A = this chain, B = another copy of it.
Amino acid sequence: MKRNFPKPLLHHPVLSAQIGFNLQMASLRVAAQIREALARFEISPAKATALSLVRMNPGCDQSALGRALLVNRASAMKIVNSLSSGGLVERKPGRNLRTNALFLTEAGERLLDALLPAIEQADALAVRELEPTQRKALRRILAPLAKLHGGEDP
């Protein structure tokens, strides 16, 4: 049986005043919970996000997916390769000869259907300490900071 003695906590008054620090810490903790919830599906949060993006944007190309995920083309390539070799996403001929169009396979659709409730549950768990009004406020405030952009590679 684990005794789990209380461990000393560190002070961080300077960093706590900064939004970036709090965002980072909150994000790390929520991401860890979501990662844990997704573990039994053997998929990472980023790849689950990619699946959802492909479903909502059927026929999108890899570069657009990369921009949405805030990674460059080479990294988007890796993600799509992984999902493709896992039989979850497929590349089809795109709107011109140098782009390809991404779609979920049947298996991808089924996996995403199974995934989304787990993500929602982990999400709700992560913010369970917040009042409903705070959750709404957080969503509203975070939206512009999380907005997709159309600029260069990261």
A contact face: mostly helix, strand, loop, or mixed: helix
Whole-angstrom distance between the alpha carbons of A20 and B27 in the complex? 7
> Among the listed B8, B119, B138, B146, which residue makes an inter-chain contact with A141, where contact means beta carbons less than 8 Å apart?
B138
Interface centre among A27, A138, A150, by most chain B C-beta atoms within 10 angstroms, is: A27
Task: Name the contact of A49 in the complex, choosing from B21, B144, B149 (C-beta under 8 A).
Answer: B21
Q: A24-B45, A26-B146, A27-B28 are in contact. List 4 more A-B contacts (CB 8 A).
A: A7-B63, A8-B64, A19-B135, A23-B31
Q: List 20 A-B contacts (CB under 8 A).
A: A8-B64, A9-B148, A10-B68, A12-B148, A15-B53, A19-B30, A20-B33, A20-B122, A22-B143, A22-B146, A23-B26, A24-B45, A26-B27, A26-B146, A28-B70, A126-B145, A130-B144, A138-B138, A138-B141, A141-B141
